């Protein structure tokens, strides 16, 4: 998917004015934030479980090579074929080759954010393979040629009227109005796709080294259908998704659905190991697993490594006041919210996303809910440090920061300048004691007054003898 | 107890009475309060913008001015958080400085946290007639666990009614330089906060961080609310809010 | 160098750098073997009260239906009553191990074959069930095809209450004891399929079954 995060500021203006989006976002907030809070209490010691989950992720990351080799060995022994892809284009090429190898003309796809990174669907269509998204949200997006705006609830930005319009346009059936009717229509439309697809494509929430398995969590049943019925299954995931044992993934599964959707457990959890054998009735004859790097290996052993712990729950964006106000599309790439503000510059290059690390108050709501304790605000700040080191800040900002720091290191000058400055500003405030505009700070005064300073500094008053 | 008062650059420039209210509270709790006059800024604006070097220089200046006190008290969660959490982090590669900053951080407190946990104050000197709603500033809340402390102190004031707002712990949109750099977004976040405040019909909105309060006041006034008072918790607890 | 070598090489270099910088922070190969052999559990919530009671409560929370009987031969009658109540078709399929139950005597057309997507009801057993979350654990096999619990609109699972374990960790241990390795597919099923993609409103019956009925009956 193309990275458009350089358009962030313009997008913010658009999204803030989008009333339909604003309504949709408040729905998201009440369900996911409230939902999570209600079920977290089911875990007797949430903090202890988070610590354990972070340790599980770190165990894998700190010895990633060995765990990946273990996974490869186990998976291969059960009949799966492991492919390694350096970039998104490599993934696309591999999937096209697999399709050609097995005479695939139609593919049914369940959700995969990694495949969005690659732009897989376009590549398959170009190669003559008809791909249908089957996750309801992703299917709706496919009809509307849009990108997901949330990693778990991809079509959260649309209301049912918009969806009803899309269905009416594409299904050539009378326009439905109710949510249940729309879901039924999607079920009936997609059922034949599942039954007839040559290839199923899925992501992989985790891959388990102990057993060589791919684990997917879903609610709709489409994940099970695309990995059971077609004769070829291709699973695509990032190299960082390896988890050592079944017990380890179980700990992660206690936190993932609760953090994501406020469910104690997702409807379906499928552990998929190897191909259909003589002791199976269902299942793919061919199972291909593609492990994508796309910049992840460069994050290892860096001060940003903890970002690779991410289990893609979406809790950070659900709780982020910035995301809550602008939604996911403004972030310009596959991953929105706090995790996207870190991953997009890391995977796409800092130059591609000048705004994302800065468009945050560092309020910390994200870090407080991250099930694997990624220090998200710290990582955002680190990216700002890197921007500073590489001279990516504006001259003006760099000057202002250096000037302030210099003043603060010279108390006498600081005292004098602040004394004069606040006297002036106090006067500018007038009777109202409000400044309605401030030179150089229109970002503030366009939407807010600036309360005038009292006119004297504390230091000045204290030195004059005032003590209380 | 000899307490070094770090007023913060915002209080110094914008609302000195918060600094004096803080002194009054600390003295009423039996502390000897000293104001080191060379103090300026904790370095957070630069630090959050990615300028670690300036932050380190200001940290070294700070420790020279404040290390000698029994406690350092700060009427701001974000500045206290900078000193307690980030100063030691800045010197992780220097064992002796790391040790000194860690020791100092253990003696540094946000004001309400200090009054409740260290001094264990039972009565506050001030009185205030009216209803208030409390905004939980992010750094104090998430870095320093400040939530119960201001409420506990306010509960000792018999004429104060606390009307909790919806989402008191949601960011008001200040975020330092964010408030100017991403002004539209910041204004929207401030607007959401002001809506929640207005819905409580409280006489005053109270908080522990002046940056948030200026942001909130700025939006309230621009939208025509000239009535709701915007006050620092020190002003309520010390009684200086009632004096006006 | 192919992609595999390049990627693993990058990872290896990163790991060597961090071992050099931080000393003993990365694991050695022996402790990987140890971790695999011991597969230690993480923190688990205590399972309160009796497993059967908790399992039933969680099932209901997930919008599954639960019926209990002491007499396995009664299962077809109970199913018929359930289907009639809900005005559902009484046609379907079952796993071979369940074909000896008196289906036709109860007025049900249940055939012992895999589902072909036109079946209204799919009757399965379950490998075990998990009390913590009200979840069924299904292991795929020739006699236990996953499609039976997936394609029909109604999934009926006949579960012996003695196969209810407390947690997923217990379920894995049971699987390890009774089977050498995981089958092609292990499916954990927690209620009817659902989606909330449209306006965050939960709708039951997305692509999988609309309803799940758990009939608790002894294995005999």
Domain boundaries, chain A: 15-28+39-297, 395-463
What six digits make up the tokens of C169? 């960790």
Rounded CA-CA distance B212/B189 in Å is 11
Q: For the sheet containing B71-74, what is the strand order?
A: B32-34, B2-5, B71-74, B108-110
Contact between residue A355 and residue A333 where contact means Cβ atoms under 8 Å apart:
no
pLDDT digits (tens, 9 = 90+) for B115-164: 999 999 999 999 999 999 999 999 999 999 999 999 999 999 999 999 99
User: How far is C-alpha A365 from the chain's CA centre?
Assistant: 15
Rounded to 10 degrees, the C-alpha dihedral A72/A74/A77/A78 comes to -110
Contact A250 C168 (CB under 8 A): yes
Secondary structure (3-state) at B63: helix
Cα–Cα distances in angstroms (integers) from residue C152 to residues A281, C116, C139, C146, C148, in the given order: 16, 9, 18, 11, 7
Length of chain A: 468
Q: Does the distance separating the beta carbons of B179 and A443 come in below 8 Å? A: yes
Mean pLDDT of A393-403: 92
User: How would you class A171 by CB atoms within 10 Å of its CB: exposed for 0-12, middle for 13-18, buried for 19 or more?
Assistant: middle
Q: Please tell me whether residue C126 adopts helix, strand or coil conformation.
A: coil
| pLDDT digit string, tens, across residues A333-356 | 999 999 999 999 999 999 999 999
Look up the CATH number of domain B2-118. Answer: 3.40.50
Quickly state the pLDDT bin for B76 (edges 50, 70, 90). Answer: very high
Backbone angles phi, psi at A373, to 5 degrees: 55, 45
Closest listed residue to residue A195, CA positions, set C192, C207, C193: C207
Question: Would you state the pLDDT for residue C25?
Answer: 46
The region of weakest confidence among A168-182, A238-252, B181-195, B199-213 is A168-182
In this prediction, residue A468 has a pLDDT band, given cuts at 50, 70 and 90, of: low
Q: Which residue of B has its CA nearest to A26?
A: B192
Contact criterion met (CB < 8 Å) for A282 and C185:
yes
Q: For chain B, which chains pass the contact test of at least 3 CB pairs under 8 Å?
A: A
Closest to A52 measured CA to CA, from C178, B179, C41, B34: C41
What value of ipTM does the predicted structure carry?
Answer: 0.97
Nearest CA in chain C to A191: C207
- In total, the C-beta contacts within 8 angstroms joining chain A to chain B are 197
Q: Is the pLDDT of residue A24 over 60?
A: yes
pLDDT at B242: 82
Q: Whole-angstrom Cα distance, residue B87 to residue B200?
A: 38
Taking the alpha carbons at both ends of chain B, their separation in whole angstroms is: 31
> Is A83 in contact with A200 (CB distance < 8 Å)?
no
Asked if chain B contacts chain C via 3 or more Cβ pairs within 8 Å, the reply is: no
Q: List the single residue in B with minimal CA-CA distance to A397.
A: B49
Antiparallel, parallel or unpaired: β A213-218 and A268-272: antiparallel
- B218/A381 touch (CB, cutoff 8 Å), yes or no: no
Contact B58 A409 (CB under 8 A): yes
The Cα–Cα gap between A256 and A265 comes to 8
Interacting residues of A348 by C-beta distance below 8 A, sequence separation 6+: A3, A5, A295, A333
Residues of A in contact with B139 (CB under 8 A): 364
What pLDDT is stored for residue C21 in this prediction?
66
Average pLDDT (A379-396) is 95
Helices A246-261 and A46-62 cross at an angle (nearest 10°) of 120
* A222-235 average pLDDT score: 95
CATH class of the A15-28+39-297 domain in this structure: alpha beta
Domain coordinates in residue numbering, chain B: 2-118, 130-243
Q: Find, among A91, A14, A93, A60, the residue nearest to A289 by Cα.
A: A91
Instruction: Provide the residue ranges of all domains of chain C, joining segments of one domain with +.
Output: 3-38, 51-216
Res C49 pLDDT > 90: no
What is the number of CB-based contacts under 8 A between chain A and chain C?
Answer: 257
The pLDDT score that the predictor gives to residue B75 is 98
Percent of residues, chain A, with pLDDT higher than 90 = 94
Instruction: Name every chain C residue with its beta carbon within 8 A of the beta carbon of A302.
Output: 14
CA angle C212, C214, C220 (to 5 degrees): 150
At residue C219, the pLDDT reads 83
Band the pLDDT of C31: cuts 50, 70, 90. confident
User: What pLDDT sits at residue B216?
Assistant: 98
Please, which pLDDT band fits residue B5 given cuts at 50, 70 and 90?
Answer: very high
- Beta carbons of A459 and B192 less than 8 Å apart: no
- Give the single-character DSSP code of B94: -
- Asked which of A264-273, A292-301, B223-232, C194-203 is least confident by mean pLDDT, the reply is C194-203
Q: Which one of 1.20.1260.10, 3.40.50.10420, 3.30.565.10, 3.30.70.3170 gives the CATH number of domain C51-216?
A: 3.40.50.10420
Q: Subunits touching C (CB < 8 Å, at least 3 pairs)? A: A
CB distance A460 to B199 below 8 Å: no
Mean of pLDDT over chain A:
95
Helix/strand/coil (H/E/C) assignment for every residue in chain A: CCCCHHHHHHHHHHHHCCHHHHHHHHHHHHHHHHHHHHHHCCCCCHHHHHHHHHHHHHHHHHCHHHHHHHHHHHHHHCCEEEEEECCHHHHHHHHHHHHHHCCCCEEEECCCHHHHHHCHHHHHHHCCCEEEECCHHHHHHHHHCCCCCCCCCCCCCCCHHHHHHHHHHHHCCCCCCCHHHHHHHHHHHHHHHHHHCCEEEECCCEEECCCCEEEEEECCCHHHHHHHCCCEEEEEEEHHHEECCHHHHHHHHHHHHHHHHCCCCCCEEEEECCCCCCCCCCCCCEEEEEEECCCHHHHCCCCCHHHHHCCCCCHHHHHCHHHHHHCCHHHCCCCCHHHHHHHHHHHHCHHHCCCCCCCCCCCCHHHHHCCCCCCHHHHHHHHHHHHHHCCCCCHHHHHHHHHHHHHHCCHHHHHHHHHHHHHHHHHHCCCCCEECCCCCCHHHHCCCCEECCCCCCHHHHHHCCCCC
Confidence of residue C22 (pLDDT cuts 50, 70, 90): low
Q: Which residue has the tokens 């790439």?
A: A333
pLDDT band at C105 (very low <50, low <70, confident <90, very high): very high
Residues above pLDDT 70, as percent of chain C: 95
pLDDT at residue B244 in the model: 59
**pLDDT score, position C29:** 62
Q: Do B142 and A367 touch (CB under 8 A)?
A: yes
Which pTM was predicted? 0.96
- Tell me the β-bridge partners of C207: none
pLDDT band at A25; cut points 50, 70, 90 = very high
Distance, in Å, from the CA atom of A133 to the CA atom of A194, rounded to the nearest integer, reads 10
Q: What is the pLDDT of residue A138?
A: 94
Q: How confident is the model at residue C30 (pLDDT cuts 50, 70, 90)?
A: low
- Contact list, A432 vs chain B (CB under 8 Å): 221
Element (H, E) at C168: helix C168-178
CA-based nearest residue in chain A for residue B186: A444
Phi (first) and psi of residue A230, to 5 degrees:
-70, 160
Residues with Cβ within 8 Å of residue B111, at least 6 apart in sequence: B22, B25, B73, B74, B75, B76, B208, B233, B234
Tell me which residue of B171, B196, B158 sits closest to B77, measured CA to CA: B171
How many angstroms separate the CA atoms of A294 and A311, rounded? 17
- pLDDT(B92) > 90: yes
CB nearest B181 (choices: A322, A363, A443): A443
**Given this model, what pLDDT does residue B41 score?**
97
Question: What residue in C sits closest to A279 (Cα-Cα)?
Answer: C142
- The DSSP bridge partners found for residue C112 are C94
Distance CA A21, CA A106 (A): 34
- pLDDT band (50, 70, 90) for residue A151: very high
Interface mutation vs chain B, best among A363, A373, A456, most B CBs within 10 Å: A363
Tell me, what's the pLDDT at A440? 87
Distance from CA of A12 to the nearest CA of B (A): 7
Answer yes or no: do C17 and A301 touch at CB < 8 A: yes
CA-closest candidate to residue C187, choices C217, C156, C147:
C147
CATH architecture assignment, domain B130-243: 3-Layer(aba) Sandwich (3.40)
User: CA nearest C213: which of C24, C84, C40, C37?
Assistant: C84
| Dist CA C183 CA C176 (whole Å) | 11
Residue A325 has pLDDT above 70, yes or no: yes
From the CB of residue A157, how many other CB atoms can be counted at a distance below 10 Å? 22
> Which residues in chain B have their CB less than 8 angstroms from residue A388's CB?
49-51
Q: Are A292 and A239 within 8 A, CB to CB?
A: yes
* Nearest-angstrom CA–CA distance, A110 and A194: 10
C18 interaction partners in chain A (CB closer than 8 Å)? 62, 300-301
* pLDDT at C18 > cutoff 80: no
Residues of A in contact with C35 (CB under 8 A): 59, 244-245
User: And the tokens for B191?
Assistant: 């607007």
Q: Distance (Å) from the C-alpha of residue A457 to the closest C-alpha of chain B?
A: 5
A182 alpha carbon, distance to own chain's centre: 27
Answer yes or no: do B49 and A13 touch at CB < 8 A: no
Q: Give the per-residue pLDDT at C220.
A: 63
pLDDT of residue A30: 87
**Distance, CA of A367 to CA of C21 (rounded, Å):** 27
């Amino acid at each position: 998917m193309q990275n458009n995060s350089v358009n962030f500021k313009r997008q913010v203006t658009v999204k803030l004015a989008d009333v339909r989006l604003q309504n949709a976002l408040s729905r998201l907030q009440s369900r996911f934030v409230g939902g999570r809070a209600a079920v977290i209490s089911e875990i007797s010691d949430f903090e202890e479980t988070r610590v354990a989950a972070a340790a599980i992720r770190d165990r894998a990351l700190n010895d990633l090579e060995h765990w990946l080799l273990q996974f490869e060995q186990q998976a291969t022994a059960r009949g799966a074929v492991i492919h390694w892809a350096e970039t998104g284009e490599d993934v696309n090429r591999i999937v096209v080759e697999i399709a050609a190898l097995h005479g695939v003309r139609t593919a049914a796809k369940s959700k995969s954010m990694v495949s969005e990174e690659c732009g897989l669907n376009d590549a398959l269509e170009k190669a003559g393979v008809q791909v249908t998204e089957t996750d309801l949200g992703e299917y709706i997006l496919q009809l509307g040629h849009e990108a997901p705006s949330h990693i778990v609830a991809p079509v959260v930005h649309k209301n049912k009227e918009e969806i009803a319009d899309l269905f009416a346009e594409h299904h050539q059936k009378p326009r439905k109005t109710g949510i249940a009717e729309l879901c039924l229509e999607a079920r009936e439309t997609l059922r034949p796709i599942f039954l007839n697809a040559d290839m199923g494509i899925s992501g992989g929430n985790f891959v388990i080294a102990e057993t060589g398995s791919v684990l997917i969590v879903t609610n709709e049943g489409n994940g099970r259908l695309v990995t059971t019925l077609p004769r070829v299954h291709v699973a695509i995931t990032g190299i960082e998704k390896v988890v050592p044992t079944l017990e380890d993934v179980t700990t992660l599964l206690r936190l993932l659905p609760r953090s994501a959707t406020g469910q104690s457990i997702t409807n379906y959890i499928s552990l998929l190991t190897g191909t259909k054998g003589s002791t199976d009735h269902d299942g793919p004859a061919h199972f291909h697993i593609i492990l994508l790097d796309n910049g992840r290996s460069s994050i290892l052993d860096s001060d940003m490594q903890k970002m690779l712990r991410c289990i893609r729950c979406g809790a950070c964006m659900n709780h982020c006041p910035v995301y809550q106000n602008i939604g996911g599309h403004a972030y310009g790439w596959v991953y929105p919210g706090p995790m996207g503000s870190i991953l997009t510059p890391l995977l796409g290059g800092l130059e591609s996303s000048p705004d994302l690390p800065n468009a945050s108050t560092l309020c910390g709501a994200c870090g407080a809910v991250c099930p694997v304790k990624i220090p998200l605000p710290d990582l955002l700040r680190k990216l700002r440090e890197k921007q500073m080191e590489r001279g990516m800040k504006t001259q003006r900002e760099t000057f202002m920061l250096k000037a302030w720091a210099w003043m603060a290191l010279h108390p006498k000058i600081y005292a004098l300048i602040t004394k004069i400055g606040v006297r002036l500003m106090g006067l500018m405030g007038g009777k109202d004691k409000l400044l309605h505009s401030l030179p150089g700070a229109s970002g503030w005064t366009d939407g807010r007054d600036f309360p005038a300073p009292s006119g004297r500094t504390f230091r000045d008053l204290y030195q004059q003898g005032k003590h209380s | 107890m000899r307490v070094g008062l770090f007023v913060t650059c915002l209080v110094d420039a914008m609302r000195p009475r918060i600094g004096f209210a803080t002194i009054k509270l600390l003295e009423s709790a039996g502390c000897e309060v000293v104001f080191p006059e060379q103090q300026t800024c904790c370095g957070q604006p630069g630090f959050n913008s990615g300028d670690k070097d300036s932050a380190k220089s200001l940290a070294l200046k700070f420790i020279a001015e404040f290390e000698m006190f029994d406690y350092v008290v700060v009427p701001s969660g974000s500045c206290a958080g900078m000193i307690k959490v980030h100063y030691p982090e800045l010197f992780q590669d220097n064992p002796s400085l790391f040790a000194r900053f860690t020791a100092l951080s253990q003696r540094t407190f946000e004001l309400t946290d200090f009054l409740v946990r260290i001094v264990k104050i039972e009565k506050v000197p001030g009185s205030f007639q009216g209803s208030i709603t409390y905004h939980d500033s992010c750094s104090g809340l998430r870095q320093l666990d400040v939530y119960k402390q201001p409420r506990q102190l306010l509960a000792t004031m018999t004429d104060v009614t606390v009307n909790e707002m919806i989402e008191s712990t949601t960011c008001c949109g200040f975020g330092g330089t964010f408030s100017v750099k991403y002004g539209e977004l910041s204004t929207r976040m401030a607007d959401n906060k002001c809506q929640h405040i207005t819905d409580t019909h409280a006489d005053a909105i109270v908080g522990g961080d002046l940056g948030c309060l200026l942001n909130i006041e700025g939006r309230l006034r621009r939208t025509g609310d000239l009535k709701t008072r915007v006050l620092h918790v020190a002003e309520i607890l010390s009684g200086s809010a009632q004096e006006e | 160098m192919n992609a595999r070598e390049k990627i693993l090489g990058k990872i290896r270099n990163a790991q060597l750098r961090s071992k050099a910088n931080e000393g003993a922070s990365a694991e050695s190969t022996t402790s990987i073997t140890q971790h695999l052999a011991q597969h230690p559990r993480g923190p688990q919530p205590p399972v309160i009260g009796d497993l059967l009671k908790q399992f039933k409560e969680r099932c209901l929370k997930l919008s599954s239906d639960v019926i209990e009987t002491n007499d396995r031969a009664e299962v077809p009658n109970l199913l018929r009553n359930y289907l009639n109540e809900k005005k559902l078709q009484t046609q379907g399929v079952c796993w071979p191990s369940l074909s000896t139950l008196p289906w036709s005597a109860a007025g049900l057309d249940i055939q012992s074959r895999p589902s072909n997507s036109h079946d209204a009801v799919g009757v399965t057993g379950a490998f075990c069930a998990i009390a913590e979350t009200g979840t069924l654990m299904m292991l795929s096999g020739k006699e236990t095809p996953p499609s039976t619990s997936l394609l029909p609109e109604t999934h009926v699972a006949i579960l012996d209450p003695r196969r209810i374990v407390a947690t997923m960790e217990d379920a894995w241990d049971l699987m390890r004891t009774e089977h050498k390795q995981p089958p092609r597919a292990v499916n954990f099923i927690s209620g009817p399929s659902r989606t909330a993609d449209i306006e965050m409103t939960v709708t039951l019956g997305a692509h999988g079954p609309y309803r799940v009925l758990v009939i608790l009956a002894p294995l005999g």
